[in-house]
């Protein structure tokens, strides 16, 4: 860079600062921070409440304070009480995080109260932190709904409270481990800092001794060392609780400060205890500023208790200064504490790995929640998929989608339900059963509203009024229309920005069918008998008794739909049972061949025919008996914690043979495996597809022998993996994992299985120099590689004991004598250098899969539709296309490859946005921050100096050329487009 352009950059930065200063003229932001005392130890008290968006009670029960016998908590009273206490005394400050609650409260307030709250926010006395709809989980969450929920919260804050309501600090004080992808998302939303409550106890101890509790997290990893993904991160000293003895909520029992003339007067004791704690804490941090979180779960319902005691504490501690004390205590906020750290002008250590897994003791690894409640986790991922489809159709069709022949619907209900689901006790599966049921109900209400919208939109785009059916039980092969109708059409909506070939599988009762594509051309199809495992799953009340399944491959254009016609052919008798296939222990398509061991019935080998790679692979199901505590520790396995009672999992099929049956047709070759009455699997190769599909069905897990069980699917290979395996971070970045090892601290491994488990949100793989075996998941699961060449995923768990982390229930999921869960793994075999080209695209195909809608009344007039003029290149994903009012759309485009992982697709790529969409013209385009709550140019972040590694300044945003929008590897860009239809 020349000196001249340096000056230009500086000028630009100065202008940006000026602009932002103007926006925040009311006085919020760092200039409203309380004054501190140089040369003193400044203790920042952070009054806060931690309000779970559902846990032991539902969201509504928490808000209204219902069922206080379960847990005393009423968020509306907390907000009432805090605001009154802040108004009463200007020095007091408070921080609030969960917008799901704040938004409800705000709607109930009169204008006078709203004005008062806005003033508190503008004066920095009430600070919003985090600012998502909830405090999102990082272990089981996918990045797409995580971005959406943060955006939903931040956009509400911007609208209700103005620019001062936009948080500067991400506040992840309770999630059970922290992902690098989420840190990168926080950075790209413009947060100046991130505060964490829970990190591994060994890591924390080491960091305290090295004064590395605060550091720069280089969250882009090695592939993206850009400062846009760096975020200053602080670990809080005491999780998010007050120091011992200083808990003054009505939920606590520490003695209040008595400074009156009374035998109870305890000022000297309180002050000296406080000074001791502060001095001790200061040892572990670098600057002369330290932080204390004054609050906890659902505190401040009677805020006066906390505030009046802190008022007294502050005045008595600071009074000691006249006797030479060098401690200054003050009401503060996370951003004001951060500001002081920044002013200290130090260089900070750099971290590039993540904070998984989390453990709070030698036998307490919080790696169970990666897999807890697989049914709910599956529904959550499916709902995220449907939300994308609903949002796209709302954007493409406009008002006529919201209100039309099928009624009134929109995406807002599902968006809010999905935002709630991201909470760290929701998608994690760590809520009580009745709360899990409530989350499911919220999602179902969202689906209903979206189904109305989708029907309206399809009738507009298709040019005819059909009766649409959303067959929600296709996973158990139940759909009255396909089973009963003589003729029906299958409409497939594809949200991906590329054409897709998708296997369709529908329950039918007829003996012969003809399928036609949108042009009326015949599509090859086959009938296969409904499998025994599927027939066992269907209950009479589910309806559905179809004898067969109709299978064909549907090709669907980008961001659009295709309608296929299906006609039942008359006059054919029951088809003769197909001849016994030759080679019953082998299935094959044009890309892959899978062999099974005739003795055991297990997969024994996978071959990629194009690449000429053959890998011996044995796949089977096992379980770990859940620990109920032992001589080492009383810790039991539970909703949060995974603790097997032995390192050796037990095979589901003992020494015997897995019973198998094979079907071979030109469209599909499938081998059914039955491991036990409660565990079965279909291994499938679909024509034209590059993956082996493993559809597993597990449950009810038997617990009659007194043992809780944690079921895994394990792949054993001959790959020389040298203790390494790879997992994704929230479905996006890939991180290398090493057995019994952490990249930045010396691990003493105390749980050889649970301590090696990591979150798998979409994929896990193992590889050597020649071969990579990848497994893609349809929901978040825990996974590991316990021995070289082996890889396992925990698909289901059922437990008989609580793990003593507060939820107070064993994870039994007793419905129907124990939850049955069905899901799929897609297995890929490739060269390591080529693997990303397939797994990147396929993971998006699974997370943004096409949706099947049936119509019994005929085919739409328009049988094929695509909203794109041309497909996007493989490296680009359309992350968001949603309506923002009638004439504006929100767009997020992302580069879905990391640099260096693909020869073809890891390069920067440019898109012509103006000529991308067919149904509308973009008349104006503005680039926004990732949260979509403000222009990108208004982001100005604090700059922190790393002690090691490159030290770049943030690139100023380049001028936007809508004809040529460039994306770097892993970059997400967000736009607000004004459109003319
Ligand atoms: C910050 O520290 C650097 C040296 O690392 C020094 O050059 C600079 O003047 C300092 N800035 C302030 C504002 O003290
Ligand atoms: C399909 O056939 C089965 C067995 O004959 C029958 O029980 C079921 O009712 C049929 N379903 C429909 C929708 O016709
Ligand atoms: C880990 O232990 C080794 C050997 O005891 C030591 O040299 C190294 O500095 C330690 N690393 C960290 C990050 O503490
Ligand atoms: Zn919590």
Q: Atom 4, ligand 3: which residue's CA is nearest?
A: 746
Percent of the chain with pLDDT over 70: 96
Question: Above 70 in pLDDT, residue 9?
Answer: no
Q: Does 746 sit in the ligand 3 pocket, CB within 6 Å?
A: yes
User: Residue 548 Cα, ligand 2 centroid: separation in angstroms?
Assistant: 10
Q: Atom 7, ligand 2: which residue's CA is nearest?
A: 545
Under CATH, which number does the domain 466-575 receive?
Answer: 2.60.40.1180
User: Residue 323 Cα, ligand 2 centroid: separation in angstroms?
Assistant: 90
Q: Which ligand is closest to the CA of 353, given by its number? A: 3
Choosing from 477, 545, 548, 856 the residue with most ligand 2 atoms within 8 A of its CB, the one to mutate for a pocket test is 545
956 touches 964 (CB < 8 A): no
What is the model's pLDDT at position 575? 66
- Which atom of ligand 3 sits closest to the CA of residue 206? 14
What is the model's pLDDT at position 553? 96
Please enumerate in sequence order all residues whose Cβ is within 8 A of that of 509, keeping only pairs 6 or more positions apart, or say none. 483, 484, 546, 547, 548
d(CA 830, CA 837): 10
Torsion of CA 145, 148, 149, 150, to 10 degrees: 130
Q: What is the mean pLDDT of the chain?
A: 94
- Which atom of ligand 2 sits closest to the CA of residue 480? 13
Model confidence band, residue 15 (pLDDT cutoffs 50, 70, 90):
very low
> Coil, strand, or helix at residue 158?
helix
Q: Does 745 sit in the ligand 3 pocket, CB within 6 Å?
A: yes
Q: Which ligand is closest to the CA of 507, given by its number? A: 2
CATH 2.70.98.30 domain range(s) in the chain: 586-830
CATH class held by domain 586-830:
mainly beta
- Which atom of ligand 3 sits closest to the CA of residue 746? 1
Is the pTM higher than 0.75? yes
Q: Does 353 sit in the ligand 3 pocket, CB within 6 Å?
A: no
Catalytic residue among 51, 52, 137, 174: 174
Question: Above 80 in pLDDT, residue 434?
Answer: yes
d(CA 16, CA 21): 8
Task: Provide mean pLDDT across the span 396-411.
Answer: 95
Q: Does 655 sit in the ligand 3 pocket, CB within 6 Å?
A: no
pLDDT per position as a tens digit, 64-108: 999 999 999 999 999 999 999 999 999 999 999 999 999 999 999
Active site residue 174: yes
Q: Which ligand is closest to the CA of 807, given by its number? A: 4
**Sheet-wide strand order for 500-508:** 500-508, 548-556, 525-529
CATH 3.20.110.10 domain range(s) in the chain: 3-31+41-351
- Which atom of ligand 3 sits closest to the CA of residue 744? 13
Q: Atom 6, ligand 2: which residue's CA is nearest?
A: 545
CATH 1.20.1270.50 domain range(s) in the chain: 372-463
909 touches 929 (CB < 8 A): no
Superfamily of domain 3-31+41-351: Glycoside hydrolase 38, N terminal domain (3.20.110.10)
Ligand 2-lining residues (CB < 6 angstroms): 483-484, 509, 545-547
Task: Please give the CATH topology (third level) of the domain spanning 876-980.
Answer: Immunoglobulin-like (2.60.40)
Model confidence band, residue 885 (pLDDT cutoffs 50, 70, 90):
confident
What is the model's pLDDT at position 815? 83
Model confidence band, residue 27 (pLDDT cutoffs 50, 70, 90):
low
Q: Can you read off the two tokens belonging to residue 323?
A: 């006797």
CATH 2.60.40.1360 domain range(s) in the chain: 876-980
Q: Atom 12, ligand 2: which residue's CA is nearest?
A: 484
User: Residue 289 Cα, ligand 3 centroid: separation in angstroms?
Assistant: 28
User: Residue 549 Cα, ligand 1 centroid: separation in angstroms?
Assistant: 71
Q: Atom 13, ligand 2: which residue's CA is nearest?
A: 484
CATH class held by domain 372-463:
mainly alpha
pLDDT per position as a tens digit, 165-204: 999 999 999 999 999 999 999 999 999 999 999 999 999 9
The sign of the CA dihedral 59, 795, 554, 532 is negative
Q: Does 748 sit in the ligand 3 pocket, CB within 6 Å?
A: no
CA separation, residue 568 to residues 508, 512, 575, 576, 922 (Å): 9, 6, 14, 17, 45
Q: Can you read off the two tokens belonging to residue 809?
A: 């229930």
Model confidence band, residue 576 (pLDDT cutoffs 50, 70, 90):
low
């Amino acid at each position: 860079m020349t000196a001249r352009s340096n000056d230009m950059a500086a000028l630009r930065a100065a202008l940006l600062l000026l602009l932002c200063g103007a926006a925040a003229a009311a006085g919020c932001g760092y200039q409203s921070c309380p004054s501190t005392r140089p040369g003193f130890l400044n203790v920042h008290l952070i009054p806060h409440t931690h309000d779970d968006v559902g846990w032991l009670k539902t969201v509504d029960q928490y808000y209204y304070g219902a069922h206080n016998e379960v847990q005393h908590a009423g968020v509306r009273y907390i907000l009432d009480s805090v605001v009154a206490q802040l108004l009463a005394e200007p020095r007091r400050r408070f921080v609030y995080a969960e917008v799901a609650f704040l938004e409800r409260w705000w709607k109930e307030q009169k204008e006078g109260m709203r004005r008062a709250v806005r003033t508190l926010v503008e004066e920095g006395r009430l600070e919003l932190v985090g600012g998502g709809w909830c405090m999102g989980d990082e272990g089981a969450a996918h990045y797409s709904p995580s971005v959406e929920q943060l955006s939903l919260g931040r956009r509400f804050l911007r609208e209700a409270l103005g620019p001062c309501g936009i948080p500067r600090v991400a506040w992840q004080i309770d999630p059970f481990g922290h992902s690098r992808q989420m840190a990168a998302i926080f950075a790209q939303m413009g947060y100046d800092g991130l505060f964490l409550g829970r990190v591994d106890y060994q890591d924390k101890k080491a960091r305290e001794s090295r004064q590395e509790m605060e550091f720069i997290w280089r969250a882009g990893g090695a592939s993206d060392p850009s400062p846009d993904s760096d975020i200053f991160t602080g670990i809080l000293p005491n999780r998010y609780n007050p120091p011992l003895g200083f808990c003054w909520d009505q939920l606590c029992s520490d003695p209040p400060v008595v400074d009156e003339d009374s035998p109870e007067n305890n000022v000297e004791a309180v002050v000296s205890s406080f000074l001791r704690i502060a001095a001790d804490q200061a040892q572990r941090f670098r600057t002369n500023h330290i932080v204390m979180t004054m609050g906890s779960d659902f505190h401040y319902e009677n805020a006066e208790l906390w505030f009046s005691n802190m008022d007294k504490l502050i005045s008595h501690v600071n009074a000691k200064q006249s006797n030479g004390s060098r401690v200054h205590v003050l009401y503060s906020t996370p951003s004001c504490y951060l500001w002081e750290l920044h002013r200290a002008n130090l260089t900070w250590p750099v971290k590039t790995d993540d904070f998984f897994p989390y453990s709070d003791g030698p036998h307490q690894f919080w790696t169970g929640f990666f897999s807890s409640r697989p049914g709910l986790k599956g529904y959550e991922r499916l709902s995220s998929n449907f939300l994308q489809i609903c949002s796209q159709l709302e954007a493409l069709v406009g008002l006529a989608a919201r209100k039309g022949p099928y009624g009134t619907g929109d995406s807002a209900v599902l968006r809010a339900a999905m935002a709630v689901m991201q909470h760290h006790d929701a998608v994690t599966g760590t809520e009580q059963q009745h709360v899990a049921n409530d989350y499911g109900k919220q999602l179902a209400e969202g689906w209903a509203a979206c189904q109305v919208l989708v029907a309206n939109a399809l009738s507009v785009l298709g040019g005819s009024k059909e009766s649409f059916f959303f067959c929600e039980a296709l996973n158990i092969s139940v759909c009255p229309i396909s089973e009963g109708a003589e003729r029906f059409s299958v409409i497939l909506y594809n949200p991906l920005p590329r054409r897709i070939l998708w296997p369709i599988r529908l329950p039918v009762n007829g003996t012969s069918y003809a399928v036609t594509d949108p042009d009326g051309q015949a599509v090859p199809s086959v009938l296969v008998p409904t499998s025994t495992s599927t027939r066992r799953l269907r209950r009479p009340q589910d309806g559905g008794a179809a004898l067969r399944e109709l299978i064909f491959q549907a090709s669907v254009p980008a961001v659009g739909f295709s309608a296929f016609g299906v006609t039942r052919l008359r006059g054919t008798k029951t088809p003769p049972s197909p001849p016994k296939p030759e080679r019953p222990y082998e299935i094959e398509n044009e890309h892959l061949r899978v062999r099974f061991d005739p003795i055991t019935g297990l997969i024994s080998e996978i071959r990629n025919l194009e690449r000429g790679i053959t890998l011996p692979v044995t796949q089977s199901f096992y379980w770990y008996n859940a620990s109920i505590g032992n001589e080492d520790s009383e810790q039991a396995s539970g909703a949060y914690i995974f603790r097997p009672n032995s390192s050796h999992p037990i095979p589901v099929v003992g020494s015997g043979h897995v019973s198998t049956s094979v079907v071979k047709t030109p469209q599909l070759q499938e081998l059914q495996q039955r491991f036990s009455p409660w565990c079965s699997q279909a291994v499938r190769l679909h024509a034209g597809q590059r993956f082996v599909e493993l559809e597993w069905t597990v449950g009810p897990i038997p617990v009659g022998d007194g043992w809780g069980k944690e079921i895994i699917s394990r792949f054993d290979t001959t790959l020389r993996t040298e203790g390494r395996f790879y997992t994704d971070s929230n479905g996006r970045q890939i991180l290398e994992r090493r057995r019994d090892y952490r990249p930045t601290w010396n691990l003493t491994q105390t749980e050889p299985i649970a301590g090696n488990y990591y979150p798998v949100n979409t994929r896990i793989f193992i590889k050597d120099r020649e071969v990579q075996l990848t497994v893609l998941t349809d929901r978040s699961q825990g996974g590991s590689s316990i021995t070289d060449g082996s890889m396992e995923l925990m698909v289901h768990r059922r437990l008989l004991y609580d793990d003593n982390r507060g939820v107070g229930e064993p994870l039994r999921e007793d419905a129907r004598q124990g939850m049955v869960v069905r899901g799929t793994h897609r297995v890929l075999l490739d060269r390591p250098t080529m693997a990303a080209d397939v797994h990147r695209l396929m993971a998006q195909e699974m997370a943004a899969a096409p949706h099947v809608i049936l119509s019994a009344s005929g085919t739409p007039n328009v049988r094929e539709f695509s909203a794109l003029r041309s497909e996007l290149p493989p490296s680009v994903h359309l992350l968001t296309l949603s309506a923002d009012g009638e004439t504006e759309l929100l767009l997020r485009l992302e580069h879905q490859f990391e640099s260096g992982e693909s020869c073809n697709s890891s390069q920067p790529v440019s898109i012509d946005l103006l000529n991308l969409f067919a149904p509308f013209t973009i008349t104006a385009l503005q680039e926004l921050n990732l949260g979509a709550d403000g222009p990108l140019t208004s982001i100005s972040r604090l700059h922190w100096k790393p002690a090691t590694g490159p030290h770049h300044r943030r690139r100023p945003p380049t001028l936007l050329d809508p004809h040529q929008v460039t994306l770097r590897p892993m970059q997400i860009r967000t736009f607000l487009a004004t459109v003319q239809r």
